[in-house]
Amino acid sequence: MRLSFTKLALYEFCPYAYRFRYVERIPIPFSPRLTVGAIVHSVLHRAFARLCDGVRLTRADLHELHAAYWREAPRLNRERFPDIWERGHELLDGFWSARGHAPGRPVMLERRFRLRLRSDDAYTVEGVIDRVDQRSDGLEVIDYKSGSRPTELPGRLRTQLHTYALALERGFNSAVSRLTVYYLTDNQGISQSPDPAVADDVLNRYQALAERVGAADFKPTPGKHCRYCDYNDRCDFRWTEDAEEGRETKTSS
């Protein structure tokens, strides 16, 4: 069975939400925030690909790549979604102001991987690593997020980065020395060294989750996180919060 970090993260969020998304295949609603993130990721990928080829990049090149993305995207046009266009432009411009003087030269971009959880079973975790740079002491995994830098790395992202480190070390036989999430809203990153204990924990959690997915265990786990669920409107098990009473009420059981 092929799983991915995204799928397993959703399963951990709520198995019932996983069922909506990946069993019933109900698409998530259109989200301007996610659309901005997808656009900026794609434009940076194209820009970094030029750096990989040794081509010099300018601010104007970055903006032209952004404009080209909009010209080519079938469902996007600037008149219809001016806020999305503006936000993407702003994030890319800010990135160039902060990093344009030293954008680096990645050694891997959008690298696909497949990580077998155990040598003797059929579960694999797949994904795509945004960017990998070479440092003097090993590889640096870099993941770009369009939001603001939190005070510390959320557990979900620690899991994501350690998944990537495991994939590089097992699949490409390369030592990883640094894990970084780069936040484009304020152009700051959070970095840490890979932690073998976290990596072991990630593998064990993946194995347990994969077995539950394999057994079609999609029991809902309602709670305050339902407020952030893409399927809140259609879920019979969602929790709602009675703001006046300061008490939570379940809509169905």
Binding site for ligand SF4 (CB under 6 A): 14, 16-17, 220, 222, 225-226, 229, 231-232, 235, 237-238
By beta-carbon proximity to ligand SF4, the closer residue of 197 and 243 is: 243
By beta-carbon proximity to ligand SF4, the closer residue of 37 and 220 is: 220
Q: How far is CA 188 from CA 102, 153, 165, in A?
A: 14, 12, 21
Shortest reach from residue 16's CB to ligand SF4, in Å: 4
Shortest reach from residue 228's CB to ligand SF4, in Å: 8
Q: Which tokens is 166 given? A: 């495991």
Shortest reach from residue 223's CB to ligand SF4, in Å: 7
Shortest reach from residue 10's CB to ligand SF4, in Å: 9
Shortest reach from residue 43's CB to ligand SF4, in Å: 32
Contact 98, 187 (CB under 8 A): yes
By beta-carbon proximity to ligand SF4, the closer residue of 207 and 232 is: 232
By beta-carbon proximity to ligand SF4, the closer residue of 83 and 242 is: 242
By beta-carbon proximity to ligand SF4, the closer residue of 136 and 252 is: 252
Query: Residue 40, Cβ neighbours under 10 Å: how many?
Result: 23
By beta-carbon proximity to ligand SF4, the closer residue of 23 and 52 is: 23
Q: What is the DSSP letter of 33?
A: H
* 230 CA to centre of own chain: 16
Shortest reach from residue 114's CB to ligand SF4, in Å: 28
- The three-class DSSP label of residue 133 is strand
Q: Which residues pair with 165 in a beta bridge?
A: none
For tokens 């959070």, what's the residue? 190
Shortest reach from residue 239's CB to ligand SF4, in Å: 6
Q: Using CA atoms, how far apart are residues 11 and 22, in angstroms rounded to an integer?
A: 10
Q: Which tokens is 59 given? A: 């601010």
Nearest to 190 by CA among 166, 218, 164, 161: 161
Q: Using CA atoms, how far apart are residues 85 and 192, in angstroms rounded to an integer?
A: 33
Q: Pairing between strand 239-242 and 247-250?
A: antiparallel
By beta-carbon proximity to ligand SF4, the closer residue of 151 and 252 is: 252
Contact 39, 69 (CB under 8 A): yes
